[in-house]
């Protein structure tokens, strides 16, 4: 079973669809799971108690967890000095603490089998230091640091931990960002074009594949940085 957070829309849903098409068993987490055509459970990853409830259920059900994709995330384009405190907290709690909560509580479900792959998500805003994304970049920089250290903690258990850092991908996170702003970011990538969610799903499949056993603690930039 592959656990995917943020599974109801955006990158998370694109990843779920790709995994299902590839024959994987998927269990989705999202704040709203009504109508999803695959097994899922309502969960706010920023809440430790919510994530713990899911982990407890999966443990009781004897779920065989082989992967975790931490795709849940939120963003807000704004200068740091004009970002409301509650918005800052929501971004950090969802993006950074949400990733930590899921790794803390779902990794033990892989430890018993001593195999698995965890994929976290960052952003090109960290590498490029993008103006107007200070708080978002800070939360994701934390994810990158956590990924590198957690990868070392899990290596002895044959569990790979890596991170994907996309540039602008056509999802709900780009709402409110003009095409001119998007193009300015794309122009700074090594490959200066906007990629689709499928490109991200390609990397997720790679990191889940046993043939990527030599990759751990890596941050892979979609488009290059």
pLDDT digits (tens, 9 = 90+) for 13-52: 999 999 999 999 999 999 999 999 999 999 999 999 999 9
Asked whether 12 and 4 are in contact (CB, 8 A), the reply is yes
209-225: average pLDDT: 92
pTM of structure: 0.94
Q: Which of 4-8, 75-79, 110-114, 174-178 has the highest mean predicted lDDT (pLDDT)?
A: 4-8
Average pLDDT estimate for 143-165 = 97
Please, what sign has the CA dihedral across residues 167, 124, 18, 26?
negative
Specify the CATH architecture of the domain 2-222.
3-Layer(aba) Sandwich (3.40)
- Residues annotated as part of the active site: 136
- Return the pLDDT at 219: 97
Q: Residue ranges per domain, the chain?
A: 2-222
- Give the pLDDT confidence score for residue 174 in this predicted structure: 65
For residue 178, what pLDDT is reported?
Answer: 74
- The predicted model gives 206-219 an average pLDDT of 95
The count of other CB atoms within 10 Å of the CB of residue 176 is 11
Place of tokens 């409301």: 84
* Confidence bin at 186 (pLDDT 50/70/90): confident
Of the pLDDT bands very low, low, confident and very high (cuts 50, 70, 90), residue 176 is low
pLDDT tens profile 100-132: 999 999 999 999 888 999 999 999 999 999 888
Q: How far apart are CA 11 and CA 36, in angstroms?
A: 15
Express as a percent the part of the chain with pLDDT over 70: 97
Q: How far is the C-alpha of 27 from the C-alpha of 40, rounded, in Å?
A: 5
């Amino acid at each position: 079973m592959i656990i995917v957070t943020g599974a109801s829309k955006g990158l998370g849903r694109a990843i779920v669809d790709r995994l299902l098409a590839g024959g994987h068993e998927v269990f989705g987490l999202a704040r709203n799971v009504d109508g999803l055509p695959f097994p899922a459970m309502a969960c706010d990853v920023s809440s430790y108690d919510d994530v713990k409830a899911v982990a407890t259920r999966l443990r009781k059900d004897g779920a065989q967890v082989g992967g975790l994709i931490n795709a849940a995330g939120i963003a807000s384009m704004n200068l740091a000095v004009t970002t409301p405190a509650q918005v800052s907290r929501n971004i950090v709690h969802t993006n950074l603490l949400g990733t930590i909560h899921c790794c803390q509580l779902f990794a033990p479900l892989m430890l018993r089998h001593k195999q698995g792959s965890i994929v976290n998500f960052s952003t090109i805003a960290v590498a490029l230091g993008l103006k107007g994304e200070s708080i978002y970049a800070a939360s994701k920089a934390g994810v990158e640091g956590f990924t590198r250290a957690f990868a070392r903690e899990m290596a002895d258990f044959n569990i790979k931990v890596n991170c994907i850092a996309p540039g602008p991908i056509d999802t709900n996170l780009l709402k409110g960002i003009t095409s001119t702003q998007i193009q300015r970011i794309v122009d700074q990538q090594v490959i200066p074009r906007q990629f689709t969610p499928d490109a991200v799903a390609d990397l997720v499949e790679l990191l889940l594949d046993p043939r990527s056993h030599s990759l751990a603690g890596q941050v892979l930039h979609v488009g290059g940085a």
